[in-house]
Structures are given as structure tokens and as C-alpha cells.
Amino acid sequence: MIPSLNSEPDMSYSVEQLSPVQKRIDFSIPGADVAAKVEAAFRDVARAAKIPGFRPGKVPRRVLEGRFGKKIRADVAQDLVELNFREAAQGISFLGQPELQRGEIADGQDFTFSVTLQVRPETTVTGYQAMKVNFPVQAVSDAEVEATVQGRLKALARLVEVTEARPVAAGDLALCEIATVAGDEVHVLEAGTLVNTTRDPYYPGIEALVIGATQGEVRTGNVTIGDQSGVKGMGGTTHDFRVTVLGVQTYQTPDLTDEVAAELGFEGGVAGMRGALQMEAETRANDAARNAARVELLQRLIELNPLEVPPAMVESHTQLLMEELRVQNAYRGRDPRSVRFSEAQIADLKRRGEFAAKAAVLLEAVARAEGLAVTDGDLEAKYQEIADMRGQRVEAVRGYFLKENAVEELRARLLQDRTLEWLLEQAELVTPDSGAQEGAAVAAT
């Protein structure tokens, strides 16, 4: 038993390690001290109680017992739990909500209770130096670079009239007269409107009549207009349409020239643009390979050092993953509050949360073993990086982390990143041959 330093009331407690991730503190408060606390509580109530037929402070104990006894003892028990647990847990870093088990206060008996805590496992990590890790970097082909070039050129595409005699193609805009036909009656809806053959916003579905027609051609057919029609009353209805193609426009992508490359923001003309896009593609490929190597390194680290992590850690990392997904949806214009996760998604997020929790514990163990640390200067650099990315003042970013008491959490994440990079530097990076990579891809499918 470990004697308490608290003198009111006298207390003793013992700490038991139930598992690598659980501790229990058992408390015992002497009956005499408990009785004194109960008596003091009754005196306080007697002074304040207003009961018809009795003067303040003169209410008999039996009356107070009948009216307030159960609540007084429950309040005293709660006070004893909070006071003594707060002192006993000062040297214990625990996670999540403590689990309390206690009985009722009984006259003449010691008051006992226990609190079970979730704690981070204490672990010594081994086998982390010079691990072999695949670095599956992919070579960037000329075709990939050319596809990127064409994608950039599309940003400069201009709408031009089609002068040669050719059918309307998907992606064109066709100037059309649109009419409905009922027997001999023809009702012109649009004397001249541009139909977007990718998907027309006003007459969705009518594109089928337009594609393949030549300028001046008249086509008729039965069309069901999509529900998203921009014409009131048209959505979801079916009509016989007559469509006359009056003209055709298409988007024309410019050829790549030095002038066009400069307009797109590249120096060095065509060669400079292709070289820059080549470097961008190689950087992306290298980053993807590095991320894959980081994940594999963590997987191997966990395999070499199996451990149990507390549910509170898993839940915390799972919630972080959910929040990241909500933020991603916000970037796409969706209200993050509307995001709901299916049971399968939640199960997958919990699995990933457990992986992240184990990785965090092991990375911290490596950092301790190797003396890795994050300085205040590193924090300042991160504040500046965040400020630059968000277009804010660094003082505002620093103030946010201080206000939210999130500085140490940020420091911990930076230390994990630094440790993971250190491990990657120590690892032997193995580049799989293309045949092995293709085989692995086929096996994965």
C-alpha cells in the first residue's frame, strides 16, 4: 500500500498493473474519517435546512436522516472519490474516461473504491535499424508527360465554329431548333439554342438526337427528358421531338508552342514546359513510392514489436481519421456535418485507427531510444508553414494552437514524422523490378 500525502481524510491506496494498457487504483478510507465527513455534512445541512415546525439549526438528526441521509452520503462518497483520486493519479498519465467501482458509505465501515485507468503501454522497440523496405518508384513515361501536356493545353481551349462538313460529335455544342411534334402539329420550343452534347442542362436526353447529325439535317425521335431539366415541367416527361441542326461549335485546343508554354506559366518554351512537367511527374511518383515505403516500414515495425494499445487511443486516432474525411468533403463543397459512415467504413476506420495508435507508440519508443526531439524552433517553422499555406499571419496560427492547448499534440505529431523519416533514412530501400510489381498488382486484383 502507498500512503497518501493527503491529511484530510487519511487515505491509503495501491496501484496494480492489470495489463500493459490498464492500471487499477484501489482506495481505502478509514471508517472514522468517513464518519467525520458525514457528520460535518449533516451539520452543514442542519444549519441551512428549512423544515416546517423546526427552527434553523434545531432539526433533529432523525428528521435529517429521513429527508437527506441518502443524498448526503452519496455526496460525501463523490467528494471522497474526486479528492483522493485526483491526488493518487497525479503521477499517472491516463487516457479516456476513468472507470469507477464503489460501494455505499456505511456507518462504522471503511469506504473502499477502485478506479481503472487506460494507460499507454511501456515498450522497448527492437529490430528497427536497417530494415529492408520496398521503394516502388515508377518510371515516368513519355506518354504520361504528353497526357499532362494535353491536359494543360485544354485550359486554353477556345470555342470555334466548325466549318468543315462533319457530323456532330460528342463534346460539341450544336446550335439547334427544337420542336415537339404531335401528329401534324409542330410546337417550336427553341428557335435557336446551343445543345451541349456532353449533357445538355435544359433538355437532358436530347443529345442522342443531335450527335451524328450534320449541319442542316433534321432529326425526329421519341425522347424522355431527364429529371434535371432546366425547362419547367419538362423533367421526366416523354415527347416526340424534331431537332434541326443549324450550326456546330467545338472546343479547339491550341498546339504547343513557346508562346503557349509561356502563357501557361512555364519558362524555357516547349522544352522547358515538358521538362518541368516531367519533373513534377517524377516528384509525384517519388512521393507515392515514399509514402508506400513509410506504410510498409510501419507494418514491419509493428510485426517485429507486437503490442496492445488502449481502446481510448484507438478511438482517438479513429476520430482523427473521420475528421480528415469530413475536411476532404468540405473541400469538395459538401457540408462535413452531413457525412455519415457505413458500418463497413467504421470498421475499416477502426482498423486503421488501431494501426495508427500502435505506430505512434512504437515511433515514440524509437525517438526515446535514439534521442530524437522536436525543438521550439521546429514548432515555429511549422507555424510558419501552416500560416503560409492558409494565407494567415504566423501569430494567429501560433495563438490558435495555444488557445486550443494543442501545442504538445502538434509537437508529438512532428516528432512522429521526424522519427519515421529517420527510420526511412536508416532502412535499406529495395526497388522492386517491374515484373515483380506487375505480378503484385495482378495478385492484388
Cα–Cα dist 366/426, whole Å: 12
pTM (two decimals): 0.72
Q: Identify the pLDDT of residue 10.
A: 54
Class of domain 2-119: alpha beta
Looking at residue 3, its pLDDT comes to 35
DSSP per residue over 53-112, as a string?
Answer: TS-TT---HHHHHHHHHHHHHHHHHHHHHHHHHHHHTTT--EEEEEEEEE----TTS-EE
CATH class in words for 307-444: mainly alpha
Identify the residue whose cell numbers are 456507518: 107
> How is 118-142 classified by DSSP, letter by letter?
EEPPP----S-TT-EEE--PPPPPH
Rama region for 90: left / alpha / beta (φ>0; ψ in -120 to 50; rest): alpha
Residue 211, C-alpha cell as written in the block = 450527335
Question: Taking the domains of the chain in order of start, what are their residue ranges?
Answer: 2-119, 125-147+264-306, 158-252, 307-444
Rounded CA separation 261/279 (Å): 16
**Quick check: 431 and 132 in contact, CB under 8 A?**
no
Cβ atoms 301, 362 nearer than 8 A: yes
pLDDT of residue 137: 85
Q: How many residues does the chain have?
A: 445
The whole-number pLDDT of residue 61 equals: 86
Tens of pLDDT along the chain (445 residues) come to 333 334 344 568 999 999 999 999 999 999 999 999 999 999 888 888 888 878 777 888 888 888 889 999 999 999 999 999 999 998 899 999 999 999 889 988 999 999 999 999 999 999 998 899 999 888 999 999 999 999 999 999 999 999 999 999 999 999 999 999 998 899 999 999 999 999 999 999 999 999 999 999 999 999 999 988 888 888 899 999 999 999 999 999 999 999 999 999 999 999 999 999 999 999 999 999 999 999 999 999 999 999 999 999 999 999 999 999 988 888 888 888 888 999 999 999 999 999 999 999 999 999 999 999 999 999 999 999 999 999 999 999 999 999 999 999 999 999 999 999 999 999 999 987 644 444 444 344 3
Distance CA(381)–CA(41), nearest Å, equals 55
Predicted pLDDT of residue 433 = 67
- Exposure letters 66-83 (e unless 16+ CB within 10 A, then b): eebbeebbebbbeebbeb
Identify whether the C-beta of residue 23 lies closer than 8 Å to the C-beta of residue 15.
yes
DSSP assignment of 347-363 equals: HHHHHHHHHHHHHHHHH
| Cβ atoms 302, 358 nearer than 8 A | yes
Cα of 298 vs its chain's centroid, Å: 19
CATH of domain 158-252: 3.10.50.40
Which amino acid is present at 35? A
Grid coordinates standing for 395? 501569430
